[in-house]
Structure formats: structure tokens, C-alpha cells
Amino acid sequence: MRFLKSIIAAILLLVTASAFAQEKGVDMDMKAYIFGHVGDSYEWHITAIGGRPVSIPLPVIVHSRTTGWHCFLSNKLEEGEYEGFHISETSGKIVETAPDGTEVRPFDMSITKNVLGLMFGSLLLVVLVLWAAGWYKKHDGMKEAPTGVPGLVEMLVTMITNDVIKDAVGKDYEKFAPYLLTAFFFILFNNILGIVPFFPGGANVTGNIAITMVLALCTFLAVNLFGNKHYYKDIFWPDVPIFLKAPAPIMPIIEIIGLFTKPFSLMVRLFANMLAGHIMILCAVAVIFLTVKMGPLINGSLGVIAVFFGIFLDCLEFLVAFIQAYVFTMLSSVFIGLAHQEPETE
């Protein structure tokens, strides 16, 4: 309930401030508005007061091929170039100007908005898990049921382990349960934080394809590094008519392609669903901005509809946050289980 109230208050505050800015004659750039929220940046924008943005500058850590390492706060780049670096207008990334006038990307290890959001989500995950573990150190779980955060963590762990991992993976499920549970909670926490419209929420971590790619790569390694002999036999010499695997290895090629399409689907599914959800919410709120110049009657009517529709989408995204974490864990468990199937015996 408090979460929903926070969402409502934040949206109403955003609507009021944005409408005021529009009345002052500030035109809205939809592209900059949407991609400025869902994209990564070298600062964490909080709000705007009196038309001036309030942001948290983040550390910039780059290595130039000519001048070596540089470390400074991103607000140094607000006035343009600093220590030979500037933010490219095309890519939005930090670049340096080469002697021939071209823009060159340095080796960039900066703490961007998504990186800081990733760190915060990971820290929250560790804190909640240790909180639950601390409860079990002080209480006998066989005689007393946990409540609060430990009870919520136990409920989710039990549900995912018994209903998803155990059934999909099979007898070796305990070997893969730590990774699969970590993936579930990591995705769930970052999904929820991504739809919270105020600091430290709002970072589009799971809507960043680099993050989902790493998660899919972890599942790919868990599947293929620990697959049994029967799994690899079905890939390179499946039980199909001989003309489908020799002399032209048609089925083995299809199976090898399938090794990569499975993690690719995991990557794209999570990325696309979370990014689309964020954009839908932003578009709903943008209706208020875009109708300001149409008069108070149209703007007020559509504004009320947009606010309630935005709240509805936020609640829907809260459900999607859980569903996407559940689906990623379920499909990863299924893929791992398929890699540990035993040959059928007559």
C-alpha cells in the first residue's frame, strides 16, 4: 500500500512540475524525454527546481591511449570539454578528440546510472538474504514460522524451488538452485526498482540489453558446461533418420543453432518487456505535457485520464516485474533440465 501511495505522489508531483514548465513556454522533445529516462547516463537526474535540473554527478573513470587514466565527476563535463573529454551528441558516450579531429572512445569504466542502480539492487538483495539468514540463526525454523521480510523471502524461495526448479531440473536441482534463485531475486528486485519513480529507483537496469545478455550468458554456461553425454549426443548425433545427419549434418546444425537461440530469446524477452513497460508509462505521462497548449479543459481532462492510466500501468508493471523474473527462472530451469535428461530405457 505504501508503495502504491509513493507511486501516486511521485506521478502527481511530476505532472504538476512538468505542466508548470510547459506554461512557461518550454517545448517538449519526446525523443529526449523518453530515451533520457530509459537510457543510461553519467548522472542521476532527481528533479527540476525553478527550471534547473537537480542531479547527482557520478564518477567518470576512463583510460585514454595517449594520456592514461582519468577520474573525475561527471558535472565537470556540463560546460563542455574537460581534460580532453566530452560527451558525444550522437552516442551520448564520453569521447576524446583525436589529432585528426575524429571522436575516439576511451576505455570507459565509469559508474553510470545503470551501474549504480545495479550496485544498489545487488546490495539490497544481499541485505535481504542476510536478514533472512540472520533470523534462522536465532530461531528454530521447525518450531517457529518467520514473519516480515524473512517470511517473504522464505515463501519466495520455497515457491521457486519446489514449483519451478525442482520440477524442471530434476534430481540434480540442488546443484543449480543457488544460481537460479539468485537470478530470480536479482531480476525481481531490479525490475521493481526500475518502476519506482524516485531515487534510488528509476534506473532501467533490466531494460538494458547488456544486463540481460550477461544473465542469458550465465544460463548458457550453466546449460552447456554441465550437460551430460546424452545431451551432447542429441546435439551432434540425434536419433533421426541417417540422411538428416550424414553426409550433410542438417539436424546437428539445427541443434547447434538452437544452443544460441535459447539464451538469445531469454535476453530479448526480458529486455523488450521491461523496456516496453517503461516507455508505455512515460508515454502515458507525456500526454499531460503534450496537451498543455490545447487549453485547460482538454489538458485537465486528458491529464486526469493520463494520471490514472499511468498509475494503472505502474501497477501492471509491478505484476510484470514478478512475471518476467519467474519466466526467466522457469525457462533457465527447463533448459538446464533438458541438458540432464537420461536416455529412455525400454
pLDDT in tens, 230-279: 888 888 888 888 888 788 888 889 989 989 999 999 999 999 999 888 88
pLDDT in tens, 162-198: 999 999 998 889 999 999 999 999 999 999 988 887 7
Q: What is the mean pLDDT of the chain?
A: 84
Q: How many CB atoms lie within 10 A of CB 134?
A: 11
Confidence of residue 17 (pLDDT cuts 50, 70, 90): very low
End-to-end distance of the chain based on CA atoms, in angstroms?
Answer: 56
* 92, pLDDT greater than 50: yes
pLDDT in tens, 210-242: 999 999 999 999 999 998 888 888 888 888 888
SS3 content of the chain, % helix, strand, coil (to 5): 65, 10, 25
C-alpha cell at 288: 499531460
With helix as H, strand as E and coil as C, how does 94-122 read? EEEECCCCCEECCEECCCCHHHHHHHHHH
| pLDDT of the residue at 287 | 81
**Do 281 and 202 form a contact (C-beta atoms < 8 A)?**
no
CA distances from 86 to 36, 56, 76, 89, 106 (A): 18, 18, 9, 9, 11
* 2, pLDDT greater than 60: no
| pLDDT of the residue at 264 | 95
Spatial distance between the Cα atoms of 46 and 57, rounded to a whole number of angstroms? 11
C-alpha cell at 195: 518502476
| pLDDT of the residue at 334 | 94
Confidence of residue 69 (pLDDT cuts 50, 70, 90): very high
Nearest CA-CA partner of 75 in 89, 91, 88, 56? 56
Residue 127, phi then psi, degrees to nearest 5:
-65, -45
Residue 72, phi then psi, degrees to nearest 5:
-160, 170
- Find out whether the peptide bond into 99 is cis, omega within 30 degrees of 0: no
287 vs 125, residue with greater confidence: 125
Quick one: which H or E segment has residue 61?
strand 59-64
Assign 86 to helix, strand or coil: strand
Spatial distance between the Cα atoms of 192 and 325, rounded to a whole number of angstroms? 10
| pLDDT of the residue at 344 | 66
* 135, pLDDT greater than 60: yes
Paired sense of beta strands 103-104 and 107-108, if any: unpaired
Contacts of 208 (CB under 8 A, 6+ apart): 40, 114, 271
**Do 70 and 83 form a contact (C-beta atoms < 8 A)?**
yes
| pLDDT of the residue at 28 | 66
| pLDDT of the residue at 23 | 45
| pLDDT of the residue at 27 | 61
Confidence of residue 99 (pLDDT cuts 50, 70, 90): confident
What pairs with residue 140 in β-bridges? none
Q: Is the dihedral of CA 167, 171, 174, 177 positive or negative?
A: negative
Angle at 144 between CA 138 and CA 146, to 5 degrees: 75
Confidence of residue 24 (pLDDT cuts 50, 70, 90): very low
- 66 sits in the region (left: phi over 0; alpha: psi -120 to 50; else beta) called alpha
C-alpha cell at 304: 486526469
